[in-house]
């Protein structure tokens, strides 16, 4: 029992210290100009673009649909791009061989890479909602704010799950940013951020049901519209499970990569 | 860069340094070692072989087997500094990767500290440290101290002991005053020294240094050699790979010369030099091409081996000859019409032995 607790303590340390230091070390957008441009200013323009386009194409005069959708979509900036950078950055930096050569618990190491990006992603969504309040007069008067905070947290976690998986793709492909960009825009279309899920064809709705964000965006819209936490509970559970499934697939890929790379000698092959 | 004692990373008071512990934790073995001045092998490599599968072609792909390491065997005793010497691409790094659990051998066996590197990889990893040459392998946006803190956590080191150990290690590698700076501002030599500190964080019993001085300026390389010599003084078992002869000569107690995946010679630097002890080396500086004279030079009975080195504006013919100075006049006659600079006759070095070995002339 004492040994188990000791191991747990060591792994918790790998998780948190790894989370903090890998965030500083591997997140390419961490420099203030990049960070502000990508995570603070960029989402405003997405929001303005889709609100104006929505008003013109769909005749929607209430901008809240697009404001909430695009604010929640910013979760993917941290979840998809940030987390995958934290995984595949080790390969580009040549540190992967030293990670795999250490006795560190791989699960703590792997999941720790997502932690700071989840916090960062929550901050990003809050900033984006703040833009919505300021520019488009988003009404939060009916909103159960703690429930909205939980929704944001779960949604960012879910995108981070996908980011963990994509980061592992970065360990076996030459340019994961191409994949990340494709996924990011796929989320734009299929998550319901800018297009009603019900208006999508059947196959596209099937895609929506297995990607992160879809349920989180729906829950956020309901909560801001005045619904209770209980009413969005199933959506939040669904969102959490989607994220956990992607994280689990990512971890299996990470372990497989280590085993195959050590067997074939491809640890540093690009 | 002194060899001051560094605190135990696990925070255990009074624990003897790892280098003092017997390799096999058995009282009988320790007793045997003390009584009979016998040292167990820390590293044992038997018939090690590694074959890579490479694919060739973009559309019609075919597979090709490349034998990187071809049945090598050697052993390293506790506290020994052993050199693996060879030109680029002959299997040195592949061998180190297999020794450090980062690559599974195709066949053969490696035991380190009594553990099998494939079956017991998890048990072995906390007891070995390794660095691969070059600037990669560090987090450039973190400070030197943060890099060490991070790797310390990966090795499950006690946080308090790590905090005390990091300044000592930085002092040992001469980075005390730069530890708080980001690694991206470090020179190549500083990065290599930080690599050494990283590899020593968990006080490993065995160290693998793969071309640690590669690409360093002469001063940086000299500083690193001083650090390596100090590590040896701490009784660490070290395997060093290099293709710098003088480095192997200066540091290693024993050297294995590897060529095309096979060990072609093994022994102390003095023993390897004896391969060419019956020869002298004639160095002839020349300006301009001499390709047309080379066949005639090689055909001379007084010429055992001939190689050419480019040095700035000139070339130097390095001729290994049993006749020594007596062969100079014959050689110069054959170079008639070529602008010749200095001519010198010297004793052979380890490099001459190495050239003879890797060119397959021994």
ipTM for the predicted complex comes to 0.86
| Alpha-carbon gap, residue A131 to A149, rounded angstroms | 16
Return the number of CB contacts < 8 Å for A and B. 86
Residue of A258, A232, A249 lying closest to A91 (CA atoms): A258
Candidate from B104, B137, B140 with C-beta closest to A263: B104
How many Cβ atoms are within 10 Å of B291's Cβ, its own excluded?
A: 7
Between residues B362 and A157, the one the model is more confident about: A157
How many Cβ atoms are within 10 Å of B64's Cβ, its own excluded?
A: 10
Average pLDDT over residues A113-130: 94
Residue with tokens 């100090």: B230
Dihedrals phi, psi of B91, to nearest 5 degrees? 115, 10
**Residue B142's pLDDT band (cuts 50, 70, 90):** very high
Average pLDDT over residues A219-231: 95
Tokens in use for A56? 């013109």
Class of residue A152 by CB neighbours under 10 A (exposed 0-12, middle 13-18, buried 19+): buried
- Residue B6 contacts residue B155 (beta carbons within 8 Å): no
Residue-averaged pLDDT of chain A: 90
Quote the pLDDT of residue B348: 84
Quote the pLDDT of residue A265: 84
Mode of pairing for the β-strands spanning B128-132 and B41-56: unpaired
Class of residue B338 by CB neighbours under 10 A (exposed 0-12, middle 13-18, buried 19+): middle
Quote the pLDDT of residue A146: 96
Residue-averaged pLDDT of chain B: 84
| Alpha-carbon gap, residue B104 to B6, rounded angstroms | 33
Query: What digits encode the pLDDT tens for the residues B187-242?
Result: 988 998 999 999 999 999 999 999 988 877 888 788 888 888 888 888 899 999 98
Tell me if chain A has a CB within 8 Å of the CB of B44.
no
**Min distance B166 CA to chain A CA atoms (Å):** 16
| Alpha-carbon gap, residue A138 to A130, rounded angstroms | 9
Tokens in use for A96? 């992967």
Residue B360 clears pLDDT 80, i.e. is over it: no
Residue of A64, A41, A50 lying closest to A220 (CA atoms): A64
DSSP string, A196-256: -GGGS-HHHHHHHHTSTTHHHHHHHHHHHTT--HHHHHHHHHHHHHHHHHHHHHHHHHHHH
Q: Which of B65, B139, B166 to mutate to test the interface with A (most CBs of A within 10 A)?
A: B139
| Alpha-carbon gap, residue B335 to B288, rounded angstroms | 11
Residue of B193, B129, B133, B194 lying closest to B157 (CA atoms): B129
Residue B28 clears pLDDT 80, i.e. is over it: no
**Three-state secondary structure call for residue B134:** coil
Query: What digits encode the pLDDT tens for the residues B37-59?
Result: 555 789 999 999 999 887 777 77
Torsion of CA B60, B63, B68, B73, to 10 degrees: 180
Residue with tokens 């003095």: B270
- Kind and range of the H or E element at B11? none
Query: What digits encode the pLDDT tens for the residues A179-197?
Result: 888 998 899 889 999 989 9
Residues of A with CB under 8 A from a CB of B: 10, 13-14, 17-18, 21-22, 24-26, 30, 93-95, 97-104, 109, 262-265, 267
CA A44 to chain centre: 18
Query: What digits encode the pLDDT tens for the residues A75-117?
Result: 999 999 999 888 888 888 889 899 999 999 899 989 999 999 9
| Alpha-carbon gap, residue A53 to A65, rounded angstroms | 12
Q: Strands, DSSP E only, in chain B?
A: 41-56, 62-77, 81-85, 107-112, 115-116, 128-132, 206-210, 237-242, 254-259, 262-267, 280-287, 305-311, 314-321, 339-346
Between residues B56 and B90, the one the model is more confident about: B90
Beta carbons of B159 and A13 less than 8 Å apart: yes
Average pLDDT over residues A222-226: 95
């Amino acid at each position: 029992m004492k040994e188990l607790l000791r191991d747990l303590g060591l792994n918790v340390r790998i998780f948190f210290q790894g989370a903090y230091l890998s965030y500083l070390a591997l997140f390419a957008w961490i420099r203030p100009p990049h960070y502000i441009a990508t995570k603070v200013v960029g989402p405003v323009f997405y929001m303005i673009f889709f609100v104006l386009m929505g008003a013109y194409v769909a005749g929607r005069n209430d901008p809240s649909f697009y404001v909430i959708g695009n604010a929640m979509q910013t979760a993917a900036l941290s979840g998809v791009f940030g987390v995958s950078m934290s995984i595949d950055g080790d390969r580009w930096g040549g540190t992967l061989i030293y990670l795999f050569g250490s006795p560190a618990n791989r699960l703590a190491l792997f999941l720790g890479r997502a932690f700071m990006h989840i916090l960062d992603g929550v901050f990003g969504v809050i900033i984006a909602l703040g833009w919505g309040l300021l520019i488009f007069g988003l009404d939060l008067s009916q909103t159960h704010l703690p429930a909205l905070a939980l929704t944001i947290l779960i949604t960012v976690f879910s995108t981070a799950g996908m980011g963990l998986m994509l980061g592992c793709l970065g360990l076996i492909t030459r340019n994961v940013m191409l994949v990340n960009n494709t996924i990011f825009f796929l989320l734009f279309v299929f998550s319901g951020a800018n297009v009603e899920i019900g208006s999508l064809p059947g196959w596209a709705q099937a895609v929506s049901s297995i990607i992160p964000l879809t349920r989180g965006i729906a829950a956020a819209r309901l909560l801001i519209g005045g619904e209770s936490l209980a009413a969005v509970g199933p959506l939040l559970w669904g969102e959490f499970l989607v994220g956990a499934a992607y994280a689990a697939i990512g971890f299996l890929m990470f372990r497989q990569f280590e085993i195959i790379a050590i067997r074939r000698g491809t640890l540093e092959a690009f | 860069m002194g060899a001051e004692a560094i605190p135990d990373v696990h925070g255990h008071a009074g624990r003897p340094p790892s280098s003092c512990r017997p390799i096999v934790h058995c009282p009988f073995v320790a007793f045997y070692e003390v009584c009979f001045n016998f040292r167990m092998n820390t590293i044992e490599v038997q018939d090690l072989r590694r074959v890579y599968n490479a694919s060739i072609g973009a559309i019609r792909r075919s597979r090709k087997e490349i034998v990187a390491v071809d049945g090598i065997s050697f052993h390293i005793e506790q506290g020994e500094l052993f050199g693996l010497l060879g030109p680029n691409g002959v299997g040195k790094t592949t061998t180190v990767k297999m020794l450090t659990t980062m690559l599974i051998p195709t066949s053969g066996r490696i035991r380190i500290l009594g553990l099998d590197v494939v079956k017991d990889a998890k048990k072995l990893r906390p007891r070995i440290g390794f660095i691969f040459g070059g600037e990669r392998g560090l987090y450039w946006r973190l400070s030197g101290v943060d890099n060490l803190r991070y790797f310390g956590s990966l090795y499950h080191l006690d946080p308090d002991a790590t905090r005390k150990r990091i300044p000592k290690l930085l002092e040992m590698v001469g980075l005390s005053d730069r530890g708080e700076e980001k690694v991206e501002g470090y020179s190549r030599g500083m990065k290599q020294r930080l690599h050494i500190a990283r590899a020593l964080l968990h006080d490993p019993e065995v160290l693998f240094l793969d071309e640690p001085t590669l690409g360093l300026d002469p001063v940086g390389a000299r500083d690193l050699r001083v650090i390596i010599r100090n590590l040896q003084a701490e009784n660490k078992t070290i395997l060093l790979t290099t293709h710098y002869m003088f480095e192997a000569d200066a540091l290693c107690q024993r050297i294995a010369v590897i060529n095309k995946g096979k060990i072609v010679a093994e022994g102390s630097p003095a023993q390897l030099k004896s391969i060419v002890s019956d020869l002298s080396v004639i160095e002839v500086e020349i300006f301009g091409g001499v390709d047309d004279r080379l066949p005639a030079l090689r055909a001379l009975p007084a010429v055992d081996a001939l190689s050419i080195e480019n040095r700035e504006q000139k070339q130097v013919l390095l001729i290994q000859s049993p006749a020594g100075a007596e062969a100079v006049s014959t050689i110069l006659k054959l170079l008639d019409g070529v602008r010749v600079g200095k001519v010198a006759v010297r004793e052979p070095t380890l490099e001459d032995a190495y050239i003879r070995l890797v060119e397959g002339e021994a």
